[in-house]
Chains A and B, each alone.
Chain A
Amino acid sequence: MSDKQIAVDGISKGFGALSVVDQVSFDVRDGEFVAIVGPSGCGKSTLLNIIAGFERPDRGAVWIDGVKVASPSRNGIMISQHGSVFPWLTVQDNVMFGLTGTDQSERMALAHRYIEMVGLSGFEKAYPHELSGGMLKRVELARAFVVKPEILYMDEPFSALDALMSLRMQSELRRILEEERHTVLLITHDVEEAIFLADRILVLSPRPTTIQTRFQVDLPHPRKLSDPKAQSLREDILKELGL
């Protein structure tokens, strides 16, 4: 066994005559944060859905810890743009949704810890419709972190938030990842978000999507986007995207 946790091996996917993903292969190491950047409509989400097990590839396969992916698993939790916090459950019940185990007080304590970690103490009994978009994201993060998945799949997680809140959530996510080690696969169209968060950035081509370029981000955290190195990296990535 090597140290690669996710192995994406030549996956292709089409819908009818339309080829969306074409022969994509890459590896993600345990604990690595990989961002995938691409133009909108290029099949980024399809790619991530295949890796997370929600969709089947037409060809190729995804291996996680050496096991072929056939269905979604609680080992890899998806966080998507529009969120999937259950509106009929309180914050606390949402966070406890994925928790198994019979000891109620233990589950409560775990939920409490993660609610605190995402900064939502005092909102345990609130319903999602009483919360702001940023707070909903925090609930979703807590619900994912609490089951201790090895992998987080993030599909444009903060793009429905306003610019300020998006930046705030990025640094919150970075802070939590310092405490809790996870492998993260992030899909985004926000180049700066990718540079701020990721260890490695893959740039996708337009549809049918392939990996066009790979960038290593060798900058210490917390990163500053005003850093000249970050700026030149940004220029390079934007050039790849045709801008």
Chain B
Amino acid sequence: MRQIDSKLMRVLPPALLIALLTAIWWIVVANSDSPIFPTPGQVASGAWALAQDGTLWQHIEASLFRVEIGFGLAFLVAVPLGLWMGWVSSAFFTLNPLFQMLRPISPIAWIPVAILWFGVGDFSPIFLIFISSVFPMMVQTTMGVRTIDRRYLRAAANFGVSRWVLFRRVVIPAVLPEIIVGMRIGLGVAWLVVVAAEMIALNSGLGYLIMDSRNAGNRYDLVIASMIIIGVIGLLLDGATRLLEGLDTVKWRYVR
């Protein structure tokens, strides 16, 4: 009984808050009779129409596809590089300044370069997602390795295990929680950037949907609907990465 109560208490207040904000939005728009800004009802029916004719799913799929590829490539590059930089000091001192300089450059600044190199196909947004999510994952992994508690490394040295065993059974599992944090950050940034990247050119994706809805006759109902869908998908992506925190081998990092 108490368990049900506590679950309810976690869902109820945020649901009420969202309902309250929606109500205020509805009342304000209805009373201001703005010709452009939609009510929640118009947003819902606009989204419903898009979902019915299938275009909404195509846009979501296009965005997710770009994130999958860009984020996947970034993961494949960031984790090995981060492990290497964390473990080998000379690699860290050589590469870190360069990456720290590249990291604060906004992905948006890369858009002209991306268009120049990759044109306006799928590769440009994929490249932008890669650029934006590779650095947080790499930094997190590097720091994870560099902050491994010395007593674990000492214990491994004490038992005289091989370098391979040390890496596989101590270093990787010790860093795994940091890698998961890096993935959460990286995926969050990737999702932010895909929408921005799709606003530039192309003819699919949720970012494109927003710009297209505005340009094609001020369909602000669809603009707002797309924004909400982007938010919900972002939440789901983060929730999916958080599931990794439940793995038995990383739980130790999250329980207190």
On A, residues with C-beta under 8 Å from B are 52, 54, 71-74, 76-78, 80, 82-84, 86-89, 97-98, 127-129, 147
A88 to B161, Cβ gap below 8 A? no
CA distance A88 to B169 in the complex (A): 9
CA distance A97 to B174 in the complex (A): 15
- In contact, A88 and B176 (Cβ under 8 angstroms): yes
Any A CB within 8 A of the CB of B164: no
Query: How far does the Cβ of A193 sit from chain B's closest Cβ, in whole Å?
Result: 22
Are A98 and B151 also in contact (CB < 8 A) when A88-B173, A88-B176, A129-B252 are? no
A84, B174: Cβ atoms closer than 8 Å: no
Q: Smallest Cβ distance from B247 to chain A, in angstroms?
A: 10
Do the beta carbons of B159 and A98 come within 8 Å of each other?
yes
Which residues of B lie under 8 Å from residue A147 when comparing CB positions?
A: 159
Count of A-B residue pairs with CB < 8 Å: 58
Cβ-closest 4 pairs across A and B: A98-B159, A87-B252, A84-B155, A88-B173
CB pair B161–A98 under 8 Å, yes or no, is: yes
Question: Known interface pairs A54-B154, A84-B155, A98-B161. Does A127 touch B169 (Cβ–Cβ under 8 Å)?
Answer: no
Contact B255–A86 (Cβ < 8 Å): no
A129 contacts which chain B residues (CB < 8 A)?
A: 251-252, 255
B residues contacting A by CB (< 8 A) are 151-152, 154-161, 169-170, 173-174, 176, 248-253, 255
Chain B residues near A97 (CB, 8 Å)?
Answer: 156, 159, 161, 169
- Docked Cα-Cα span, A88 to B173, in Å, equals 7
Q: Min CB distance, A53 to chain B, in Å?
A: 9
A86 touching B154 by the CB < 8 A rule? Answer: no
Distance between B206 CB and nearest chain A CB, rounded to angstroms = 38
- How close is A138's CB to chain B, nearest CB, in angstroms? 16
> Is the pair A128, B169 in contact by a Cβ cutoff of 8 Å?
no
Question: A78 with B154: in contact, given A86-B170, A88-B252, A129-B255 (CB under 8 Å)?
Answer: yes
Query: A74's contact among B159, B174, B176, B252, by CB below 8 Å, is which?
Result: B159
Q: How far is the CA of A176 from the CA of B169 in the complex (A)?
A: 28
- The 10 listed contacts between A and B (C-beta, < 8 Å) are A54-B157, A74-B160, A84-B151, A84-B154, A84-B155, A87-B253, A88-B250, A89-B249, A97-B159, A129-B255
Which residues of chain B have C-beta atoms less than 8 A from A80's C-beta?
Answer: 151
Contacts of A89 in B (CB 8 A): 169, 173, 249
In Å, the complex CA distance between A119 and B251 comes to: 25
Q: Give the residue name and chain of the B residue nearest to A49 (CB).
A: B154
Q: Which residue of A lies closest to B174 (CB)?
A: A88
